[in-house]
Structure 1
Amino acid sequence: MSGWSTKDIPDQSGRTFVVTGANSGLGAETARALVDAGARVILACRNTVKADAVARELGERAEVAALDLADLASVRSFADGLPGVDVLINNAGVMAVPLGRTADGFEMQMGTNHLGHFALTALVLPKVADRVVTLSSGMHQLGRIDLDDLGWERRRYRAWQAYGDSKMANLIFGQVLAERLTAAGDSRKSLIAHPGYAATGLQGHTESIMDKVMVVGNLFAQSAADGALPTLFAATAPDAVNGTFYGPTKLFGMRGAPGESGFSGRARDERIRTGLWTASENLTGTSITL
């Protein structure tokens, strides 16, 4: 896959993709590349006004559906109305925001980035024909998931730690789902991707000194279009391997063409993996049965 780019995406005519958070940044660039390859793309977004503008630009094979991952009622409504699709791309997310709560009382980052996508995947997986791709981040390396306080109700809140926890949860979820699919003899795939250091549109909203740091850092970041390449590879390449974590392959995984990415050994902690899955089922009231 050396030098893999959007030119290497196979013809996607007749295939349908769901991309969460496709109204800007990585999601919009992912949707754009898929439409260019012939796919039909459902832009599943909270901000439907911005999503409508993207869909108009992309043309008749792009459509918008309302989805707020911070509200399980919205997730269920979206899932109920979704037709059969080929690929679900769990792309949407928030990064290092001040302490807040979802409609269901979850800490905003774990609730949006992981629990919302967990519930969405559980509800729509029977309608997914080919694969699920879940976005993590190199910042998963910060992850120290506290199973006794997933909601940051007893600890002093630390925004970047909470973000790292949510991205570790995304990685673990994608890996465990892959293992469960294989164990069930299911030919579908679960893959995980990260964009490296890309100008995604998430930067600058942390309400901390890091906003200014990241704005300067964006001068050296790769574009959102390049950051979307690992997602696109995971979502379309016939030889993408179930359970694999894909990301940029140059500059310590920060930029470059997509390839297999290393990850923190904490993602292999069986206590955390099992506990996170069980907690996710209990908190969202959903389960994945294969």
Structure 2
Amino acid sequence: MGKWTARDITDQQGRTFVVTGANSGLGEVAARALGAAGATVILACRDVDKAGVVAAQIGENAQVRRLDLADLASVREFAAGVEGVDVLINNAGVMAVPQGTTVDGFETQFGTNHLGHFALTGLLLDRITDRVVTLSSGFHRLGTMNLDDPNWERRKYNRWLAYGQSKLANLLFAYELDRRLSSAGSKVKSLAAHPGYAATNLQSHTASVWDKLMVVGNLAAQSAEMGALPELYAATVDTAASGSFIGPDGPFEQRGYPKSVGSNAKSRDRAVAAGLWGESERLTGVTYSFGK
């Protein structure tokens, strides 16, 4: 693959990207890089004021639309206002937060990181022309997809295991979407990516001792600019294969330049992926149509 950087992004004029969570962190870096390459970038964010600052710096090819992934009504409202999109980057997320629920009563991390993006992708799919990129994490290896209790209603809550489940769900979804698109004869791609260990504000909103530890830990982390490279590669490189998982090429995939990486056996379990898909459609009320 070589040492691919944001400077290698080809001209994106005439293409429209939706980037969730683009007001800060990896999403902001991705939006800026895509805007610099000439793309029209829709910053899909809950905090529209912060997103507005970023959009103003990108220029007239950037737009801000409100999207709260923890509220399915907001997801539907946002999707209804999008006329067309070439690439959807499911970037936004929360990490290791205290136990809580979304507006619709889902466990916060599963509801925001997975169900919100599942609903968004399904509602936009008939207008996506090129690909969907879904952000996962190396923490998917911590997760187990519990289809009997995905919202931690009967289990003792563990914020890190819940985060791992949500990131595993992201991968299961990305791979299953690839299979279903391929089966339908669609040219739309589905890829997954992860940033390795990148210094962003995601780790400072856990409301735990982790927030203080990250002040030290971030000294060893790679920059958000480096962490965003895998999702940018997955979103813009023509030869990036559908169904692939892009992450850093360094030791333990913690830092480095983008390359195709592997994932654990749980993420490749087709029966679990199909079960998650059905449960996600039931919970969100969003049923996918593949044009058959």
Taking structure 1 as the reference length, what is the TM-score of the superposition?
A: 0.99
Q: Which residue of 1 aligns with 2:122?
A: 122
Shift of 1:275: 1.1
Q: Which residue of 2 aligns with 1:76?
A: 76
Q: List per-residue Cα deviations over 1:186-222 (Å, max 9, x = no partner).
A: 1110000000000121012212222222221100101
Q: Which residue identity lines up with residue 207 of structure 1 in the other structure?
A: A
Aligned residues: 290
Q: List per-residue Cα deviations over 1:242-267 (Å, max 9, x = no partner).
A: 00000001021011110011111111
Q: Which residue of 2 aligns with 1:25?
A: 25
Q: Which residue of 2 aligns with 1:37?
A: 37
User: In structure 2, the residue corresponding to 1:191 is in which secondary structure?
Assistant: strand
Q: Which residue of 2 aligns with 1:245?
A: 245
Identity %: 62
Q: Which residue identity lines up with residue 126 of structure 1 in the other structure?
A: D
Q: What is the CA–CA distance in structure 2 between the aligned matches of 1:261 and 1:281, rounded to whole Å?
A: 28
Cα RMSD after superposing both structures: 0.8
Equivalent runs, 1:252-267 vs 2, <5 Å: 252-267=252-267
Q: What is the CA–CA distance in structure 2 between the aligned matches of 1:176 and 1:280, rounded to whole Å?
A: 12
Q: Which residue identity lines up with residue 259 of structure 1 in the other structure?
A: K
Q: Which residue of 2 aligns with 1:48?
A: 48
Shift of 1:2: 1.1
For the pair 1:67 / 2:36, whether they are aligned, the reply is no
Q: Which residue identity lines up with residue 63 of structure 2 in the other structure?
A: E
Q: Which residue identity lines up with residue 111 of structure 2 in the other structure?
A: G
Q: Which residue identity lines up with residue 230 of structure 2 in the other structure?
A: P
**Aligned 8 A contact 1:203 1:215 in 2:** no
Q: What is the CA–CA distance in structure 2 between the aligned matches of 1:188 and 1:279, rounded to whole Å?
A: 23
Equivalent runs, 1:124-139 vs 2, <5 Å: 124-139=124-139
Q: What is the CA–CA distance in structure 2 between the aligned matches of 1:11 and 1:67, rounded to whole Å?
A: 27
Q: Which residue identity lines up with residue 120 of structure 1 in the other structure?
A: L
Q: What is the CA–CA distance in structure 2 between the aligned matches of 1:261 and 1:97, rounded to whole Å?
A: 27
Structure 1 residue runs without a partner (length 5+): none
Moved over 4 A (4+): none
Equivalent runs, 1:34-183 vs 2, <5 Å: 34-183=34-183
Shift of 1:271: 2.8
Which segment drifts farther, 222-231 or 205-214? Answer: 205-214
Q: List per-residue Cα deviations over 1:30-63 (Å, max 9, x = no partner).
A: 0000011110100000010110011111111111
